[in-house]
Structure formats: structure tokens, C-alpha cells
Chain A
Amino acid sequence: MCGIVGLFLKDKELEPKLGEMLTQMLTTMSDRGPDSAGIAIYGRGTRGKAKLTVQSDRPDQDLDGLAPELGQAIGTEVGIRRIDTHAVLELEAGRVHAARKAVRELRPGIRVMSDGEVIEIYKEVGLPKDVADRFELSRMEGTHGIGHTRMATESAVTTEGAHPYSTGADQCLVHNGSLSNHNDLRRKLMRKGVRIESMNDTEVGAAYLTWKMQNGASLGEALDSSLEDLDGFFTFVVGTRDGFGVLRDPIACKPAVMGETSQYVAFGSEYRALVSLPGIEGASVWEPEPATVYFWRH
């Protein structure tokens, strides 16, 4: 069991409240996933700049002085905004690849959570409310966001076992369910040179989507082919730069509820997650069909 929440705003006036609404949704899903929580937030970006969200278990050691050292290593100015165990590095968009490589060399203890123009991913072990408080999620603004509460089944309770997972620039994946062929698929993908860092099944799902897209598939096509190549139970929610998508496996035993009004499209593992949203009483509420890819875009 795990909990997923997602909120895609149509009404710009709600954007300052995105974090507040998502926090409420996320904490409601605590009993579906009390061991870790994470959030991908699509906020403000600067054209030509990229954001690299990084995390360390020893932030004082790894994040102090990181920005100037990284700037020197890749020959460009790097800005840094620290939040608890995470930091958002801002740099020239074309230098992301070099920055990832340099971070690995300069600070091997750092994990890169995400990169892109607008996405920031925060995730940690702990009760969803505590994780949301640590990152001051309720104060975050943005156009859309995805959250996950984890009850671990396939791998240990660690930061890298928590969701969301980055699947590419400004893209992420969260998962409720369990994949049963992840060991085999991990070996196959690693043989093809795909980097996979944990024994977690969802990370393999994310790596699979990334690999498909690197080989020319669109996100929709990658999701479609996952129905063939991934064995197991899943409700996936994916975030993209300008929207989000939903896919359930053909058996569809992992729950999913959508709520839509003129102001937003919301996703919850249960209706409970949606009850505090404005105007939910009059919303169109329905369950996504199995084996069908859904997308909402700005």
C-alpha cells in the first residue's frame, strides 16, 4: 500500500496555494504510507537556467561550500538554496550534464533528486506531516505537483526508496503497487548502461521510462509500452513540465480517484485525499480506466 496525490491547477489564482493544498492531501494519505514521503513541485523557472535538486544524509558536510566549488569545476556561476537535507542548485541550462558529473566527483555522498527548468523533488524518511514540515511544503507555490506516501514492500525504508523518482528533465514518476519483474529488468537495463542506484522496484520503472524516452519514445509511448514490459500491480502518476499523467495496470486493483473542476484536476489514491479541495462537492469525481493513459496539460 502507498498513497499518491496530485494537483494540476487550471486557475492561476490558486498557484500561491498549491503547497498548502498538496500538504493537506499528502498528510491525509499518511495511513497509506507512514514510512516516507516525497513531493515533486513544478514552480517558477528562469528561461535558460536549470535547477538541480540534490540531497545528502550529511548536509552540513556535503552542501557547505558546494555552489562555489561546483561553479569553479564546471566554469559557470551556480546559485544555491538550501532546505533541510536538500538544496536547489541553479545554473546554466546547458551545464546540467557537466554539473551532475562534477557533483558525483566532488561530493560522492550527494544524491541528485531531479533536474529541469521548473521541477524540484524533495523526499525523506518519516511521517508525511514531518517530511512536509521539514521542507515547508505548505509555503511552496507552483502550477502543479505530485506527492507520495510510502509503505515499503519491495525494498528498505531509505531516502532513495522514497518517491518521486526523476525520469528525465522536468519529469518524475510515483507509484502505488509492486513490480514483480524488477530484478530481471534492472539487470537488462544496467547491461544497456542505465544507471540504477537502489534495489527499489519503482526506480526500475522510472529507469525503464527514461531509457525508452532516450531511445525516441514520447512519454505517452513509454507508458504504453510499460503495460507490456512491466509485470505487477501499479498505479503510476507522472509529472511533466506542463502537466501530469495517470496510468493503471490492466487489473487495476490499486485505487485511483480523480476530481475535476474548472479550477483544477486532482488525483488521490482515495477520495479522502480530495475532500478539503475547494468546490469538491460539485466536482466531477471518477476512477481512471485500467490500461489507459491519461494526460492533462497547460
Chain B
Amino acid sequence: MQTYDLTERGLRGLNSILHAQSEDTNQVSWEVVNPRGSHAIAVGLDAPLEITVKGSTGYYCAGMNQGAAITVKGSVGPGVAENMMSGSVVVEGDASQYAGATGHGGLLVIKGNASSRCGISMKGIDIVVHGNVGHMSAFMAQAGSLVVYGDAGDALGDSIYEARLFVRGSVKSLGADCVEKEMRPEHVCILQDLLERAELHARPEEFRRYGSARKLYNFDIDNVADY
């Protein structure tokens, strides 16, 4: 286990050391102490490292992750795990707005609540939130799954494409072209797997599924007055 003190050694030093690790590095395990809300901690990693951040972070923690497993023992600011490709990011506290935005792959777990626009424009990432999500979550979501154990705010899944949304609690309102859909056996399987990987003890049957009504996919002459 390598320990890196951000207050003593600075952010650029941390990210360059982590970027310098190759796929077969033997310095796999890293602990980052004194994050004190700093931005861009552990961004752009592309090796199978295990990073634990001991405290709360600011903007863009663990962005663009490819293959690393990053755990934050605290809360995170806006844009955690933005554009993640693969690997995992676990936040033990809350996440601010646009968590997991534009993510292509990997698993983002938020053990507290996520704020507005969680999973905005998600493109294949899986996001599991143990608490609630704020308004406009999964806005323009294209692929992947968003699982919410608690409640979802206004306009869930507005202008959604093909992502799957599973919510156990209430949904304040659904966004344009987002509808409730039947929970088929294959969805129960997908959800069961995600719940297990996110260490969330819940039964898939308690969730409702939401997705695209596919009415906004193509230009519709009847809607011309609305444009």
C-alpha cells in the first residue's frame, strides 16, 4: 500500500504518479489522504489500480477512469466518474450534480444520495445509488443502467434513448418521452447482478423500470408546430 498525502505533495504529483503505473505494475494499491475537497483527484487512470481516497473531494474525482477501482471514503463534488470507460468508482457519502455523466462503461456506486442530473447522457455506464437522485437524472441517457434505491426527482429520464432506469422509491415526475415499462425476467437478472455488485441488499421485484417511449427518435410532421 502506497500512501500519498495531497496536502504535502500536491495534485499534479498524484495524478502523474498514477498515470505512470503500467498494466503490470506491482504498486497496485494506493491511499490518498487529506483530499480536503480538491478537484480532479485520480483522473484519467488507465491501469488496474486500487485507490482509496480518505475524505471528501471536489469536482471531477475519478473522471475518465479506465480499469481502476477507486473508492472515496467521503462525499464527492460535481462530475464524479465523468466519462468513465471501465473499472469502478464507489462513493461512500453523497455525490453532487452530474455524477457519472457521459460514462461509457464501468460501475459507479453512490452509497448516499446523488444530486441533480445523475447519469446525464450516460452511454453504457452502470450507476447504482443507495439513496435518492435529484432532478433531471438520466437526461438524454443513451445506454447502461441507472438503479435508484430511494426516490427520483423531477423529470427523470427526459429525452431518454435506450438506457434502463430502475427506481424502488417514488418518481416525482417523468421527463419527456420517458415511460414506465414492464419488468421482464431479463431485467430482473440485470438488476439482481447490479444490486449484488453494488452491495445493495434489496429485491429486484421491489423496483419499477422506466425507459424510452421512442416517440422522439424521428422527426414527426404532426409535431412541427412544437419546434
Q: Hey, which bits of chain A sit against chain B, CB under 8 A?
A: 252-253, 255, 257, 270-275, 285-287, 290
Residues of A within 8 A of B135 (CB): 252, 290
Please tell me if B58 contacts chain A, counting CB pairs below 8 Å: yes
User: Is B21 interfacial (CB 8 A cutoff)?
Assistant: no
Question: Judging by beta carbons under 8 Å apart, are B116 and A270 in contact?
Answer: no
Q: Is the CB–CB distance between B38 and A272 below 8 Å?
A: yes
Say whether B78 contacts A255, CB under 8 Å. yes
**Given contact pairs A270-B58, A286-B94, A287-B115, A255 touches B37 in the complex (Cβ within 8 A):** no
Q: How far is the CB of A151 from chain B (nearest CB, A)?
A: 15
Contact A271 B116 (CB under 8 A): no
Q: In the bound complex, do residue B37 and residue A270 qualify as a contact, i.e. CB atoms below 8 Å apart?
A: yes
Which residues on B are within 8 Å of A, measured CB to CB?
Answer: 36-38, 56, 58-59, 75, 77-78, 94, 96-97, 115-116, 134-135
Specify which of A253, A271, A290 is in contact with B75 (CB 8 Å cutoff): A271
B96 / chain A contacts, CB cutoff of 8 Å: 255, 257, 287
- Closest chain B residue to A28 by CB distance? B37
- With beta carbons under 8 angstroms apart, the residue of B38, B77, B94, B116 that contacts A290 is B116
A286→B38 CA distance, assembly (Å)? 17
Sorted nearest first, the 10 A-B pairs with minimum C-beta distance are: A272-B37, A271-B37, A275-B36, A275-B37, A271-B56, A287-B115, A272-B58, A270-B58, A252-B116, A270-B37
- In the bound complex, residues from chain A placing their C-beta under 8 Å from that of B38 are 272
Specify which of A270, A271, A275 lies most central, judged by the most chain B CB atoms within 10 Å of its CB.
Answer: A271
Residue in contact with B58 in the complex, picked from A271, A287, A290, CB distance below 8 Å: A271
Q: Shortest distance in angstroms between A233's beta carbon and chain B's nearest beta carbon?
A: 13
Q: Return chain A residues, CB-CB under 8 Å to B59.
A: 270
Contacts A270-B58, A285-B75; A252 near B37 (Cβ below 8 A): no
Say whether, besides A275-B36, A287-B115, A253 and B56 are in contact (CB < 8 Å). no
CA distance in complex: A290, B38 (Å): 24
Residues of B within 8 A of A257 (CB): 96
Q: How many whole Å from B61's CB to the nearest CB in chain A?
A: 11
Q: How far is the CA of A290 from the CA of B56 in the complex (A)?
A: 22
Interchain nearest-CB distance for B91 vs A (Å): 13
> How distant is the Cα of A257 from the Cα of B78 in the complex, in angstroms?
11
Q: Which residues of B contact A273 (CB under 8 A)?
A: 37
Bound complex: CA of A270 vs CA of B77, how far in Å? 8
For residue A287, which residues in chain B have a CB less than 8 angstroms away from its CB? 94, 96, 115
Return chain B residues, CB-CB under 8 Å to A274: 37
Contacts of B75 in A (CB 8 A): 271, 285
How many Å from the CB of A293 to the closest CB on chain B? 17
What is the CB-to-nearest-CB distance from B214 to chain A, in angstroms, rounded to a whole number? 27
Q: Which residue of B lies closest to A285 (CB)?
A: B75
User: How distant is the Cα of A251 from the Cα of B142 in the complex, in angstroms?
Assistant: 22
Shortest Cβ distance from residue B222 to the other chain A in the assembled complex, whole angstroms: 29
Bound state CA distance, A273 and B77, in angstroms? 12
Query: How far does the Cβ of B186 sit from chain A's closest Cβ, in whole Å?
Result: 36
State in angstroms the CA–CA spacing of A78 and B38 once bound together: 47
Residues on A with beta carbons closer than 8 Å to the beta carbon of B77: 255, 270-271
Q: Is the CB of A272 within 8 A of B116?
A: no
Contact B58 A252 (CB under 8 A): no
Nearest-CB distance from A149 to chain B (Å)? 16
Q: Tell me the bound Cα distance from A234 to B115 in angstroms.
A: 17
Q: How far is the CA of A270 from the CA of B58 in the complex (A)?
A: 7
**In whole angstroms, what is the CA distance A208 to B28 when docked?**
57
Residues of chain B contacted by A255 (CB below 8 angstroms): 77-78, 96-97
Can you sample 25 A-B contacts with CB below 8 Å?
A: A252-B97, A252-B116, A252-B134, A252-B135, A253-B97, A255-B77, A255-B78, A255-B96, A255-B97, A257-B96, A270-B58, A270-B59, A270-B77, A271-B37, A271-B77, A272-B36, A272-B37, A272-B58, A273-B37, A274-B37, A275-B37, A285-B75, A286-B94, A290-B134, A290-B135
Question: What residue in chain B is nearest A250 (Cβ atoms)?
Answer: B135
In the complex formed, the residue of B with least CB distance to A268 is B37
Q: How far is the CB of B148 from chain A (nearest CB, A)?
A: 17
Given contacts A252-B134, A286-B94, 17 further A-B contacts (CB under 8 A): A255-B96, A255-B97, A257-B96, A270-B37, A270-B58, A270-B59, A271-B37, A271-B56, A271-B58, A271-B75, A271-B77, A272-B58, A273-B37, A285-B56, A285-B94, A287-B115, A290-B134
Task: List residues of chain B with CB within 8 A of the CB of A271.
Answer: 37, 56, 58, 75, 77
In angstroms, Cα B77 to Cα A98, docked, is 48
Tell me the complex Cα distance, A25–B75, Å. Answer: 19
